[in-house]
Amino acid sequence: MRLASLYYQDNRHWHPLPGWGQFFLRLGQALGAKKSNHTRTVVGLVLPTRAYAAPLIASGIVFGKINTLLPTKNSHQHFTMLCQLPFGTSVIYRNNNNRLKGFIEDVSEIDGEIRIKIRVGSQKSGSLSHWLNQELAQSVDVSTREFERLPNSPMGKKLPTESRFLETFLELQNTRQFFHYSQMNCTIIGSLKDLENELTTNQFGVKTPAGDIIEGNLQHIIRVRRWLTNGEAYRSEIYPTSHPVESLTDNPDTVIFDTANSFLRWRNHFRSSNQVVILDKTDLYVEDAINVFNQGYIDHRTMIGGLGHFPPLPKGCEYVIYQEKPL
């Protein structure tokens, strides 16, 4: 599927994203579309500046994953995690375009398959509950805050069901599943302040077949969990480099290290995820990170390349792509 072109605005005029931006999108798309072949892809980028590289790569990854909007790789893992949580854990259940508060109430085998029971109504309302199998449970996420009680009438809050910017970028006629099912397509480790500015403040555009520009931002595409309303379906997450490594339980398809320090600190945590290492030439730790990356290339690579061809990067930029067995 063809990757839609992004535009940026300068002095009220829209211009196509330059070649380096297209490179990052195409790189992300290839990572997102990569089939599992018992190897993971490692990408190293040395750039004059890290600005916008991670958000654009992440946007490409989400585009590459649009053929798997219903979770596949991580669906069993997600369901197992929910089933192992204590009864009474607060969750959000997305059902019929509504976001409902709920509690995990039971796990049992019904009709030959394991199901989890989610209660969305109070005892007074008759304890309205749903028994969900592995597929349906992909609409359930652990709440970011605990609920003391459930409403008597579980009407919930309406979910967004469409976004013209998102529909045009992903070339989808219906984005309903995009807003109903969470997937951890990628995790970015870096500066929250810089990434939030690049993802939510600055506007981009996509062109419709009629030639109109639809405005939006990259957060509309990659849907970072921490910047969504509690319970909305996500596609990615961002952590600061200082985040306690041992507390992270995400298992993303791809992890993007947006600084040299984040790579040096976190590189051994994600054992099976594809890795993208973004190194800014002005970074204080760039030489240390390059040395560590090169040693990994020498010790672990099974094949060079493996993702196809990309538009050339501008002068002064370098990249390496190789395959290795998951550590």
Q: Give ∠ CA 70-80-74 in degrees, rounded to 5.
A: 35
pLDDT in tens, 144-169: 778 888 876 666 666 665 678 888 88
Percentage of the chain lying above the pLDDT 70 cut:
88
pLDDT at 120: 86
Q: What is the mean pLDDT of residues 44-51?
A: 95
pLDDT at 307: 80
> Within 10 A of 208 (CB to CB), how many other CB atoms are there?
12
The mean pLDDT of 182-211, rounded to a whole number, is: 90
The answer, yes or no, to whether residue 79 has pLDDT greater than 70, is: yes
More confident residue, 47 or 230: 47
Distance of CA 15 to the CA centre of its chain: 27
Query: What is the distance between the alpha carbons of residues 13 and 69, in angstroms, rounded to a whole number?
Result: 34
Give the pTM: 0.80
Distances (CA, A) of 192 to 188, 213, 242, 243, 318: 10, 29, 11, 11, 25
- When the pLDDT of each residue in the chain is averaged and rounded to a whole number, the result is 85
Please calculate the CA angle 286-254-215 and round it to the nearest 5 degrees: 95
Q: Which pLDDT value is given to residue 70?
A: 46
Q: Which two tokens stand for residue 44?
A: 């190293």
CA angle 80/85/88 to nearest 5° reads: 135
pLDDT at 72 over 60: no
How high is the pLDDT of residue 92? Answer: 87
Residue 233 or residue 187, greater confidence: 187
**CA distances from residue 17 to 10, 25, 33, 251 in whole angstroms, order as listed:** 11, 10, 22, 31
- Give the pLDDT of residue 16: 92
Residue 294: pLDDT over 90: yes
Residue 197 has pLDDT above 90, yes or no: yes
The per-residue pLDDT for 276 is: 97
Among 43-52, 94-103, 119-128, 258-267, the minimum mean pLDDT is found in 119-128
Report how far residue 273's alpha carbon sits from residue 187's, in angstroms, rounded to the nearest whole number.
10
pLDDT-derived band at 179, boundaries 50, 70, 90: confident
DSSP H helices, 34-163, are: 53-64, 75-84
Q: How many beta carbons lie within 10 A of that of residue 230, not counting itself?
A: 14
Give me the residue label for tokens 């946007």.
59
The 10s digit of each residue's pLDDT in 93-117 is: 888 778 888 899 999 999 899 999 9
Q: Is there a contact between 60 and 29 (Cβ–Cβ < 8 Å)?
A: yes
Nearest one of 47, 41, 83, 31 to 278, comparing CA atoms: 47
Q: For the chain, give every domain's residue range.
A: 6-65+183-324, 75-158
Q: Cα(88)–Cα(162) distance, rounded to whole angstroms?
A: 32
Average of per-residue pLDDT across 17-38: 87
Strand locations in the chain (E): 6-10, 13-16, 40-47, 90-95, 98-110, 113-119, 129-132, 140-142, 157-158, 186-190, 204-207, 213-216, 236-240, 254-257, 274-280, 301-304, 318-324
Residue 211 pLDDT greater than 80, yes or no: yes
The answer to which of 50-59, 63-72, 220-229 has the lowest mean pLDDT is 63-72
The two three-digit tokens of residue 58, written as one number: 């992440």
Could you tell me which residue, 53 or 308, shows the higher pLDDT? Answer: 53
User: Is the predicted pLDDT of residue 44 greater than 90, yes or no?
Assistant: yes
Residue-level pLDDT at 71: 47
Checking if the pLDDT of 36 tops 50, the result is yes
Rounded average pLDDT over 82-98: 87
Architecture of the structural domain at 6-65+183-324: 3-Layer(aba) Sandwich (3.40)
Please list, in sequence order, all residues whose beta carbon lies within 8 angstroms of the beta carbon of residue 139, skipping any fewer than 6 positions away: 93, 94, 95, 132, 180, 181
pLDDT computed for residue 173 by the predictor: 58
Domain 75-158 has CATH 1.10.3470: no
What's the pLDDT band for 325 if we cut at 50, 70, 90? confident
Percent of the chain residues past pLDDT 90, beyond the cut? 44
Phi, psi of 237, deg, nearest 5: -145, 155
Region label for 147, one of left (φ > 0), alpha (ψ between -120 and 50) or beta (otherwise): beta
